[in-house]
């Protein structure tokens, strides 16, 4: 379905971003990966997902808190594959503390990486998409773009901001072939969330399994994690002809978290 298209997925060397990159590669999209840590492993996984379609995979290590590096990544992506047809804004970090104890430098970093980076990628990718008459911008928000949780002021503020940016981008592109939507996962067992599981296990003297049940039980009625594969398939839907008039939604895949 996506043969000849190029997808740039930020924060895609693990977790949700990697799952989305693999799903898009299975549909034939060339992929530009971005993120920290091991690159060879994720690149091999994405290549394997798109092997049947001859997918190519590139990588750019832009620090998503630095606008100049983001601009370089967009230029690199266009140089590699012609243009960015699908932009997935997924990069994110987390810090947990009460508002009065929240380190200002942590606030600034979370807002920069979780929110401001998506503004920069979007403004740089849009002209090419509009000129081509087709594009997909998929912002990975969170159920925390719809509801709040204590101790997560910066993350919740950033994710609410992503939902707002999604709506405005969708309105501005509404008469065009470019769409913009947000995905709002609940708990997904990524390395970021595993750290919170570990913290609960240590705090309460629990096993990993018991800590997971405690974590899910607090928020997610389904008592199961959403998977990166499920989120990847939702991203594919947004890119499909069936998604042509899906615009400006904040689509929660959260096990009924926000339904409470």
155, 225, 238, 257: which one is catalytic? Answer: 155
Write the CA distances from 11 to 5, 33, 53, 199, 210, integer angstroms: 19, 8, 23, 23, 29
Catalytic-residue membership of 76: no
Alpha-carbon span 149 to 122, nearest angstrom: 27
Q: Distance (Å, rounded) from C-alpha 28 to C-alpha 25?
A: 5
Residues labelled as active-site residues = 155
């Amino acid at each position: 379905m996506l043969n000849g298209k190029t997808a740039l997925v930020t924060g895609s060397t693990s977790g949700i971003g990697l799952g989305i990159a693999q799903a898009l590669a299975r549909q034939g999209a060339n992929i530009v990966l971005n993120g920290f840590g091991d690159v060879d492993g994720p690149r091999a996984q994405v290549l394997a997902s798109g092997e049947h379609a001859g997918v190519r995979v590139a990588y750019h290590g832009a620090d998503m808190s630095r606008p100049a590096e983001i601009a370089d990544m967009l230029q690199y992506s266009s140089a590699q594959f012609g243009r960015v047809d699908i932009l997935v804004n997924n990069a994110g970090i987390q810090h947990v503390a009460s508002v009065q104890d929240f380190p200002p430098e942590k606030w600034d970093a979370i807002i920069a990486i979780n929110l401001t980076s998506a503004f920069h990628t979007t403004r740089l990718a849009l002209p090419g998409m509009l000129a081509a008459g087709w594009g997909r911008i998929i912002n990975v928000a969170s159920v925390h773009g719809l509801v709040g949780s204590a101790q997560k002021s910066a993350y919740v503020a950033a994710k609410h901001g992503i939902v707002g940016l999604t709506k405005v981008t969708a309105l501005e592109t509404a008469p065009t072939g470019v769409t913009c939507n947000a995905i709002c996962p609940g708990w997904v067992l990524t390395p970021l969330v595993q750290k919170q599981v570990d913290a609960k296990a240590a705090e309460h003297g629990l096993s990993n399994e018991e800590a997971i049940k405690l974590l899910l039980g607090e928020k997610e009625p389904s008592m199961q994690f959403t998977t990166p594969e499920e989120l990847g398939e939702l991203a594919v839907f947004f890119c499909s002809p069936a998604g042509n008039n899906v615009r400006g939604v904040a689509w929660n895949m959260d096990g009924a978290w926000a339904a409470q």
